[in-house]
Structure 1
């Protein structure tokens, strides 16, 4: 756009964007958590104004959005054109105990929390002689065998294997890793053969993989699986898929059967010529798949489509402002890559309609890191991520738990609390009472 032609306002409850494919490596300490996020105000110093808050409702008739800032009263923000890109949230089910015990993997805060929590479990197990507490602390349950679940269990298993070397009373054999999925295979995005390899690889590392199985309960950490297995665990990681942000229901938009914003191939919301949507919250027809004969195909919720949709969306918004025709979004799947820990991974590369290259092991792991390293937004973050990986080749993995970071004021609060009255100060009062009684 020309300078001064429009004002672009970005509203987000966080002032940064998270590159989610790197969350498993951040949880394992392979990448610094700060390098997985991109500060919005730094990368958009002139292009946009950033408001830290939430859009609570949208009046489509008046073209006004209601903003709830971090502090203060809500206010209205008028707009001419609207882009909906809320992404997705964890898809959960009404499983008893899940809300209290589960740990998600959708944000950098959860990745940091998972890392600190897992390392704290090792500290807990090493400091006790109670066998039941020890066994519970060293049992790790992961629910969901897609990219997030398989990559997270692979990275975390690598991390605790390294960390166990520094504990005298803990070895890898004392730990129990369990991966549960309701489907008949893990990593469905890379195909059945590579999915089978991924399962066998994790099992060779001591991970118990249960397919066609769901979790029925986890009250107080007591995990009950549909296949009858019951274990006690303080670590239950939930990665069983995603769903569109439920806030979409308050925005007056046409939604699909699963809650996505219903879009045309141009990424325009159906029936609205001033609203566009993209990414995980959008239901966009997959034109490439439909041309190949797949009926009712929709673009899957992954970074491969979201990044490319964003570019088409940006062009279409400007075209809409100037009255030009809209361009349809079409992208053929280029494959998928997944890391299963250090030097281990799977990759499927699509070169044509019938040509697919399938890789596994170290070469696939290199492709995983190379693809996502280059896709990471901004050169600042690209360089920092590659620097983390380079240092990791020569330096040992950090296995420090900073669990206290979640409640940093606790120690100061204890120090600042008023001291209780000493016992000696109460003695004179008792003497006076005895004198009166006599």
Structure 2
């Protein structure tokens, strides 16, 4: 009798935690585990702003799957572009662009999310994202190149425009990105004696009335004060009305000459969700508290791709798309899969909030571990301690700690690698959001494979 096949799509926090738990909980030969991911690493997303600012190297936050897994899992190098839930087949586009079918008995949709955009003129063509490792490396090169170009320019207007930077999104990603990059550029100007430090300006804007409302009023206000004290212009209740290569127009009518627009205004579930032809909640797959997709036999979903009921809050609330939830859901779902294989009852996902941490670079941070509000160095110690302990391999932990110590002792460096130097990178260049199939295309592909198989 063939062994049950568990197919996990996505190597983010949810997918990796699920696979790790399955490898430890399943007996040898009890089931086959397959992981579909275009990259052989788990990206530690919360530390991307530190990659963009050069505090950490890209390799530090790319945790090797080959090191962290027990080698019982077969890794398929590609991205899932469609699911036929009737045939129980996942359609995968491999990194060679070859399209293959991966059958499953149990499917775990942990495909994560992509950058959420709006119908704003020029946004997709002129904004840069901060969702992938490649984007963080590109943003770093781009920001440093603006300093180099401003220093070489004899045009005062061009020089001023290149030293204006706009970050959209007052959540964790946007706030930490603006804080870390502002610190980098401020320190870098000491190496550019021809540039007037007064011309350097970072803008953080968000349509929401509060900065990081998840922190609560007190810590949110503290974070806002820290940013403004450091010279970051924070505008709330404001968004982008139009974006061009050399200027950004805000919804309050301001037109800002600048060459850098970083877009971090939220995420939306992976387009893979739309291929399952299943019910969604605000774009995320609707699931039961046990993380099963109703009406889709053997299909489970979690993390950013799923609207997992938040039983701790009740009243129809769903869990926010955070790493903390994704990791816990991954472990809980693995336990449910094992229970399902052994004909035991499944358990609903219930969580206990551990708190929040926000690293603003240098000695600045705000944290709320277990409800205790902290700021400054104590908050920084908690934030970095949490991130460090969450890294899954000793190699990754060693690299990150070494990078932190080196940056603390030697300071920042301002080297450009030349990554995509002559090709403007847009939001669509790194996330491949146009690679997915429609439900009809998925069914046609799986039917064709059956006919020719």
Give TM-score scaled by structure 2 length.
0.85
CA shift digits 1:53-104 (9 cap, x unpaired): 1222221111112222122532222111100000011111011111111010
> Which residue number corresponds to residue 361 of structure 1?
376
For the pair 1:388 / 2:403, whether they are aligned, the reply is yes
CA separation of 1:29 and 1:47: change in aligned 2, threshold 3 A:
same
Q: Distance in 2 between matches of 1:376 and 1:200?
A: 30
> Which residue number corresponds to residue 232 of structure 1?
257
Q: Distance in 1 between matches of 2:97 and 2:385?
A: 44
Q: Is the 8 A contact 1:181 1:211 kept in 2?
A: yes
Instruction: Name the SS of the counterpart of 1:315 in structure 2.
Output: helix
> Which residue number corresponds to residue 306 of structure 2?
282
Deviation at 1:214, TM superposition (A): 1.2
Which of 210, 216, 222 pairs up with 1:185?
Answer: 210
For the pair 1:197 / 2:222, whether they are aligned, the reply is yes
Give the number of the structure with larger relative contact order, counting CA–CA contacts within 8 Å between residues 6 or more apart: 2
For the pair 1:172 / 2:197, whether they are aligned, the reply is yes
Q: Distance in 2 between matches of 1:112 and 1:211?
A: 28
Q: Distance in 1 between matches of 2:241 and 2:384?
A: 35
> Which residue number corresponds to residue 316 of structure 2?
296
Q: Distance in 1 between matches of 2:297 and 2:275?
A: 19
Q: Distance in 2 between matches of 1:319 and 1:130?
A: 68
Written as runs of structure 1 = structure 2, the 5 A alignment for 1:241-320 is 241-256=266-281, 258-290=282-314, 295-320=315-340
Q: Distance in 2 between matches of 1:73 and 1:398?
A: 40
Which of 65, 80, 99 pairs up with 1:40?
Answer: 65
Q: Is the 8 A contact 1:118 1:235 kept in 2?
A: yes
Which of 161, 177, 185 pairs up with 1:136?
Answer: 161
Deviation at 1:45, TM superposition (A): 5.3
For the pair 1:340 / 2:357, whether they are aligned, the reply is no
> Which residue number corresponds to residue 426 of structure 1?
none
Q: Is the 8 A contact 1:246 1:259 kept in 2?
A: no
For the pair 1:85 / 2:105, whether they are aligned, the reply is no
Coordinate RMSD, CA, aligned? 1.6
CA shift digits 1:371-420 (9 cap, x unpaired): 11111222221121112112222222111112x232599xxxxxxxxxxx
For the pair 1:212 / 2:227, whether they are aligned, the reply is no
CA shift digits 1:178-226 (9 cap, x unpaired): 1111011111121111111111211111111111111100123321111
Unaligned runs of 5+ in 2: 1-25, 424-453
Instruction: Name the SS of the counterpart of 2:67 in structure 1.
Output: helix
Written as runs of structure 1 = structure 2, the 5 A alignment for 1:70-81 is 70-71=95-96, 73-81=98-106
Instruction: Name the SS of the counterpart of 1:373 in structure 2.
Output: helix
Q: Distance in 1 between matches of 2:220 and 2:141?
A: 29
Q: Is the 8 A contact 1:274 1:320 kept in 2?
A: no
Q: Distance in 1 between matches of 2:240 and 2:421?
A: 30
Which of 117, 120, 126 pairs up with 1:101?
Answer: 126
Q: Is the 8 A contact 2:85 2:296 kept in 1?
A: no
CA separation of 1:401 and 1:385: change in aligned 2, threshold 3 A:
same
CA shift digits 1:151-186 (9 cap, x unpaired): 010000110111111111124322011111101111
Deviation at 1:237, TM superposition (A): 0.5
Q: Distance in 2 between matches of 1:74 and 1:127?
A: 47
Unaligned runs of 5+ in 1: 351-355, 410-438
Instruction: Name the SS of the counterpart of 2:51 in structure 1.
Output: helix
> Which residue number corresponds to residue 438 of structure 2?
none
Q: Is the 8 A contact 1:55 1:66 kept in 2?
A: yes
> Which has the larger displacement, 243-252 or 25-34?
243-252
Q: Distance in 2 between matches of 1:27 and 1:2?
A: 42
Q: Distance in 2 between matches of 1:407 and 1:204?
A: 33
Written as runs of structure 1 = structure 2, the 5 A alignment for 1:20-59 is 20-44=45-69, 46-59=71-84
CA separation of 1:72 and 1:143: change in aligned 2, threshold 3 A:
closer
Q: Distance in 2 between matches of 1:89 and 1:59?
A: 22
Q: Is the 8 A contact 2:55 2:407 kept in 1?
A: yes
> Which residue number corresponds to residue 427 of structure 1?
none
Which of 119, 135, 141 pairs up with 1:116?
Answer: 141
Instruction: Name the SS of the counterpart of 2:140 in structure 1.
Output: helix
Q: For this pair of structures, how many residues does the alignment match? A: 398
Q: Distance in 2 between matches of 1:252 and 1:7?
A: 26
Q: Distance in 2 between matches of 1:391 and 1:348?
A: 27
Q: Is the 8 A contact 2:166 2:261 kept in 1?
A: yes
> Which residue number corresponds to residue 374 of structure 1?
389
Instruction: Name the SS of the counterpart of 1:405 in structure 2.
Output: coil
Instruction: Name the SS of the counterpart of 2:29 in structure 1.
Output: coil
Which of 163, 174, 187 pairs up with 1:149?
Answer: 174
Larger Cα-atom Rg: 1
> Which residue number corresponds to residue 419 of structure 2?
405
Give TM-score scaled by structure 1 length.
0.88
